[in-house]
Amino acid sequence: GKGNYNHFMQKEIFEQPAVIGDTLHAFINPATRTIKLPEMPFSFDDVSRLTIVACGTSFYAGMVAKHWIERYAGLGVDVDIASEFRYRRPPLPKGGVALFISQSGETLDTLAALRYAKSKGQKIVSIVNVAESTIARESDAVLLTYAGPEIGVASTKAFTTQLTVLACLAVTIGRDNGTLSKDEEAAIVNALTELPKHAAEVLHHDDAIRELAINIADARDVLYIGRGLGYPIAMEGALKLKEISYIHAEGYAAGEMKHGPIALIDQSVPIIVIAPSDELFEKTASNMQEAAARGGRVIFLSDAQGLAKLGDIASATVELPKVADFVAPILYTIPVQMLAYHVAVHKGTDVDQPRNLAKSVTVE
Ligand code: F6R
């Protein structure tokens, strides 16, 4: 049941500190501060390039993973939408590994992409939330997310636990191939271990985000921008808003604004800026200033340091705890979920069962 919550989606958003913790618990040895994934029947050391395929929110988890695995494990990653990948029939490297991400483990396009990759001799790894699913059964190795059943059609806790598993995978690959030192691994493990606590802190902004949502509920279009690890979270934020509130929203790489989307900006367009104070902060901040200068209503998601620098040009802010760059995308997902949720509740849409959508897409 929904317990004390009004919707499954709300319950599932609030379960995130616990299920991220459960997922970490499965893969992290707290005594040694090291990550231990289940044995896999192949080694990533022999792999020259990794292919990741998924749909929707799970695809955005793949985009984050590409960034992590390239940056922290030095392994090149191709990431693709399953419905594109399967019909393009791309050539795949001999002895390669392909990774499929799916909450349900039943998404038809993802399954078809898996079968294609298998027919091309790839080793198949999947990250699923349903252990007995078809995608899990047809994989050579399975990494589980410990999100528990996700009932709300819009994916929330499945996404953040997918990211948690992918973070562990990126660190494992980087450690095993020598890209990541013991100290770097320990630092990331520390940051991951603190995530449940930080996620709980973000949930405390629920009332403030509900207030904020009132000013977005009347918008026709909403833009989400971010860079680097913040870019997929911008995409995810926009998808959440579209799905449950039926407001048109787009996620963009902040650097792309001046190549087109900035033309959309006027006083009526809220711009959600995802900008932790990391190495790309100044770049994203300048895109935010450009948007504000054109009258856009900026909603700025950052930490104390970022807000101290530029909070005053925003029409609203959400302050997140300062965390290691690596884990920031997991944390910054939570306020964009909450925002979409409260906009939808304010508009009175069916949050858990949005029109035209199914929880598990087993048809094309
Ligand atoms: C978005 C959403 C969908 C799913 C997509 C893939 O909130 O839920 O975009 O992420 O249909 O589903 P799975 O992960 O079950 O393969």
Residue in this structure with the two tokens 């231990």, named with its chain if needed = 36
Which DSSP helix (H) or strand (E) runs through 226?
strand 221-226
Determine the distance separating the centroid of ligand 1 and the alpha carbon of 199, expressed in angstroms: 22
Neighbours of 25 (CB within 10 A): 12
Which residue of the set 120, 309, 322, 359 is catalytic? 359
Residue 133 CB less than 6 A away from ligand 1: no
How far is residue 333's CA from residue 348's CA, in Å, rounded to a whole number? 23
The burial of 26, by beta-carbon neighbours within 10 Å (0-12 exposed, 13-18 middle, 19 or more buried), is given as middle
Q: Which residues of the chain have pLDDT under 50?
A: none
For residue 100, the cross-strand partners are 53, 126
pLDDT at position 30 is 87
Give the Cα separation of 39 and 36 in Å (integer): 9
The two most distant CA atoms of the chain are separated, in Å, by: 55
pLDDT of residue 311: 79
CB 236 less than 6 A from any atom of ligand 1: no
What is the distance between the alpha carbons of residues 16 and 200, in angstroms, rounded to a whole number?
Answer: 8
Decide: residue 181, CB within 10 A, 0-12 exposed, 13-18 middle, 19+ buried. Answer: exposed
Ligand 1 center from residue 247 Cα (angstroms): 19
Atom of ligand 1 nearest to the CA of 359: 8
The HSE-up count of residue 287 (CA atoms within 13 Å, CB side) is 27
The backbone region for 105, taken as left when phi is positive above 0, alpha when psi lies in -120 to 50, beta otherwise, is: left
Cβ(199) – ligand 1 distance below 6 Å: no
Distance 175 CA to ligand 1 centre (A): 30
Find all residues with CB under 8 Å of 345, minimum gap 6, and list them: 6, 7, 210, 213, 351
Instruction: Examine the residue annotation and report whether 359 is marked as an active-site residue of this protein.
Output: yes
107 Cβ closer than 6 Å to some ligand 1 atom: yes
Structure tokens at 201: 């802190």
Distance from the Cα of residue 120 to its chain's centroid: 28
Distance 56 CA to ligand 1 centre (A): 5
Q: State the distance from the centre of ligand 1 to the C-alpha of 219, rounded, in angstroms.
A: 25
Q: Is 243 in the pocket of ligand 1 (CB under 6 A)?
A: yes
Tally Cβ neighbours within 10 Å of residue 41: 8
Atom of ligand 1 minimally distant from the CA of 135:
16
Spatial contact of 162 and 145, defined as CB atoms under 8 Å apart: yes
Ligand 1 pocket residue status of 327, Cβ below 6 Å: no
- Give the residue from 62, 120, 111, 106 showing the smallest Cα distance to 83: 111
